[in-house]
Chain A
C-alpha cells in the first residue's frame, strides 16, 4: 500500500518537475497574466514568443506585396488569374488529344480537401478532351504517395498533377517523375523546381497578416488578443502565425496567449472559456484556420459576453454566425478554387500554350462589405465559399447543398 502511494507521489512530482522545467523555456504558450500586465510598455514584443524558424523575410515581403498587385487573367475567373506571371514555353510537351490526366492526391481527410476534390472532378468533367482521369488517394501517408506517384508514372498518363502530403519528403518522388512526364504541383510545394508549374494562392504570410492587421485596426491599444493555432510544425500554418506575430509585435496589442487547438472544436471552446475566465475579457481572437471559429464564438456567447473582433475563414457556418450576430470579423481565405487550376494548366501544357512557372492565384479576404456575396445559406456548414464552383455542373448538389 505504501509503495503504491509512493509511486503515485513520484508520478505527481514528475509532473510538477516537468511543469517547472517547461516554464523556464520561452515557449509560445500562455505567459502569466501578471507579467504582461505589469509591463505594458514592452507589451509589443511580449506574449508572442520567438519567431518561427520557418520565417523567411524575403518570402514574407514578397507575399505581402502581392496582396495589392493586380492579377492577370479573366476578372470573373480568379482560378485562371496569375499574379506577376513569368511565362514559360511548353512547346516540348505539346501533343494531340484525347488526354489521360493523372492525379496523386495527398488525402481527402478534411472538409477543405473534400470541397477542393469535388471541384477538381467537376472541372475535369468540363473538358471533353480529357477521356481518362486517374486519381490515387494517399490517405495522408507519405510512403503511399511515393508509391502512388511511381505507379502513375508507369501508367500511360499524359500529365501528372501532384498535391504533396508534405513538402520535404515528397521531393525525391517528384524529382524522379519530372523527366518522364510533365508534372504540375499545387497547394503545398516541393523542394525542387523541376515541375513545369507550381500553383497556389499567395500564401500563409498573407493569410496571417490579413487577420492580424484587421485586429490591430479594430482593437484599441492595450487590448487583449488570444491567438489560436491548430498545431505547430506545419510549414503552411507556421507562416500564417509568423506573419501575424510580426503585426502584433509592431502594435500596441497585448497577446495574452498562443494556444494549440488540434483543430478540435471542443478543445477550442474549452481554451477560449478558460481565457475568458482568467482575463475577464478578451478583446480579439486571431486564428490560423477557421474550422473551429464558431466554437470560439460560442465560448463568448455561453459566457454571456459580446463576441470580440475575430478572425475566421470562408466556411459557411462562420459566415452565417457573422451575419446573424453582426460580428466584427474578417475571413482571410486559402481558396479551394485552386483545385480547378491544375487541370486547366495541364491542358494548356499539353496544347503547348505558355503557363506561369510560379502560378500565384489571388487570395481575397472576406470583409463585412463582401460578406453577403459569399454567404450561401443553402450550402453545408463546412462548405468553403471560395470554391469557384458555382458555375460547374451539378452545383450545389454535388457539394452537399440544396
Chain B
C-alpha cells in the first residue's frame, strides 16, 4: 500500500479500474485479453506521452487530433492500395508530424503567440487543408503493410504494443536526460531556466516536435487499427490533455512524470472499457468522465501549492 501511495494516486485509480474490469470480464486476466486492451489504448498512450512534453514545458498542443486525421487521410491517398508505396509514405508521415510540431514551436516561441492559439489555428488549418486536397472526403486506400502496425501481431504480441513500449521507453529516457531536466526547468520557471543557461525557446520547440512525432505514430496505429475514416482524430486532443492531467501533471508546466501521464491515458481507456462493460448508457458516460476528471485533478491539486496557470 505504501509503495502504491508513493507512486502517486493515478496508479491506485488505474489498479482499482483494472480489478473492476477483470471482475466483470475474466478474459481480461488472460494475456491475450490484457494485450488486446493495451493495443486499443496504445494510440492514446502515445499521444499522451507526446502531449506530456508540451504540457510540462508550460504549453498546450490542441493540433494533435487533426494531425492524426491528416496522417490517415494523406496515407490513404498517397498509398492508394500500392504495397510498394508504404515505406516512403510512412517516412513522409513522420516528417509531416515533425514539421507540424516545428511550426507550432517556432510560432509559439518566435512570434510569441500563446500555444493555445497557435495550435488552435493549426488545428483549423490542418483539417481544412487536408480535405481541400482530397475534395472533401478521404480517397484511396491503405496497404496491408501499413495496416500491419495497428492491426497485426508479431508472434503473440501486437505490433502496437511493441511500438508503445519503444516510444514509452524513449520518452522515459528523454526525461532522464539533460534535455528532460532543461524541459522541466523551463516549465517550472522560464526566467530562472533562461538565466541558468537553458535555451528556453529551443527546448520548447523540441517539445512540440516530439508531440508532432507522437501524433504521427498514433495516426499510423489508428489508421492501421480501423482503416480510413474522416473523423479518426476527432476529439483526441482533449482526450490526450485530459489523460496527461489525470496523471497528475500540472497544466502550466514544471511538474509531473511521463510515466504518470501514460498511466493517465491507460486509466482513461480503462474507464471507457469499464463504463461499456457495465452498460452505462452512452450519454451518462460523459457525465461520469467529467466528474472523475475534476475529482482526480482536485485530489492532485490539494497537495500542491496552488499555482495559477494561464501562462502565455
Contact B136 A114 (CB under 8 A): yes
Contacts A265-B227, A265-B229: A11 and B296 contacting too (C-beta < 8 A)?
A: yes
**A161 at the A/B interface (Cβ < 8 Å)?**
no
**A37 at the A/B interface (Cβ < 8 Å)?**
no
**B292 at the A/B interface (Cβ < 8 Å)?**
yes
Contacts A14-B291, A277-B27, A380-B138: A4 and B226 contacting too (C-beta < 8 A)?
A: no
- Which bracket fits the contact residues of B? 35 or more
Complex interface: chain A residues within 8 A of B295 (CB): 7-8, 10-11, 14
Contacts A19-B278, A29-B279, A271-B276: A295 and B227 contacting too (C-beta < 8 A)?
A: yes
Contacts A22-B279, A277-B33: A265 and B140 contacting too (C-beta < 8 A)?
A: no
Complex interface: chain B residues within 8 A of A27 (CB): 279, 281
Complex Cα distance, B267 from A15, in Å, reads 13
Q: Please report which residues of chain A, range 257-303, place their CB below 8 angstroms from some CB of chain B when the two chains form the complex.
A: 260, 263-266, 268-271, 273-274, 277-278, 291-292, 294-295, 298, 302
Q: Please report which residues of chain A, range 198-229, place their CB below 8 angstroms from some CB of chain B when the two chains form the complex.
A: none
Contact A5 B135 (CB under 8 A): no
**A108 at the A/B interface (Cβ < 8 Å)?**
yes
- Which bracket fits the contact residues of A? 35 or more
Contact B287 A18 (CB under 8 A): yes
A187 CB → nearest B CB, Å = 17
Q: Please report which residues of chain B, range 220-235, place their CB below 8 angstroms from some CB of chain A when the two chains form the complex.
A: 222, 225-232, 234
B222 CB → nearest A CB, Å = 6
**B35 at the A/B interface (Cβ < 8 Å)?**
no
Complex interface: chain A residues within 8 A of B124 (CB): none
Interface flags for B196-229 (1: CB within 8 Å of A; 0: not) read 0000000000000000000000000010011111
Question: Taking CB as reference atom, which chain A residue is nearest B150?
Answer: A266
Contacts A18-B280, A27-B281, A302-B151: A8 and B228 contacting too (C-beta < 8 A)?
A: no
* Chain A, interface SS category: helix
Interface flags for B248-259 (1: CB within 8 Å of A; 0: not) read 000000000000
Question: Taking CB as reference atom, which chain B residue is nearest A399?
Answer: B135
Interface flags for B174-204 (1: CB within 8 Å of A; 0: not) read 0000000000000000000000000000000
Q: Please report which residues of chain A, range 116-160, place their CB below 8 angstroms from some CB of chain B when the two chains form the complex.
A: 117
A-B pairs with beta carbons under 8 Å apart, 8 shown: A1-B303, A8-B299, A12-B13, A263-B231, A265-B226, A277-B27, A380-B140, A381-B139
Residues of B within 8 A of A (CB): 5, 9, 12-13, 16-17, 20, 25, 27, 33, 36, 40, 76, 134-141, 151, 222, 225-232, 234, 271, 274-284, 287-288, 291-292, 295-296, 298-300, 302-303
